[in-house]
Copies of this chain bind each other. A is one copy, B any other.
Amino acid sequence: MKNIVRTLLAAALLLSGLSLYAQPQAGDNQRLTPQVMARLFPAGVVSPEYNADGSVTFRCQAPQAKKVSLDCQMLPAETPMTPGENGVWSITVTPGKPDIYPYAFVVDGTKIADPNNALIFPNEGFKYSLADVRGAEPSVQDIQDVPHGKVSYRFYHSNTCGIDRVLTVYTPAGYDPAGSEKLPVLYLIHGMTDTYETWFKVGHMNNILDNLIAKGAAKRMIVVMPYANPYPEMIRQGKAQMYNAMDTDLVSKEILNDVKPFIEANYKVKTDAASRAVAGFSLGGRQALACGLGNPKDFKWVCAMAPAIFGEEYKANFQNGVYAPVNSLNKNLKLLWLGTGTSDFLIEASRSLDGFLTENGVKHTFYTPDGGHTWMNCRDYLARIVQLLFK
Contact = CB atoms under 8 A, between A and B. Distances in A.
A232 B117 CA distance: 10
A118 B112 contact: no
Secondary structure at chain A's binding surface: helix, strand, loop or mixed?
Answer: loop
Given A7-B310, A43-B245, A116 B124 contact: yes
A377 B390 CA distance: 49
A143 B164 contact: yes
A156 B148 contact: yes
B150 A193 contact: no
A30 B313 contact: yes
B112 A116 contact: no
A150 B154 contact: yes
A192 interface: yes
Contacts of A34: 244, 246-247
Nearest to A179: B178
A152 B150 contact: yes
A226 interface: no
A25 interface: no
A153 B345 CA distance: 34
Given A38-B242, A38-B245, A193 B18 contact: yes
Interface stretch (A9-17, A332-340, A361-369): A9-17
A203 to B, nearest CB: 14
Interface string A149-162: 01111111100000
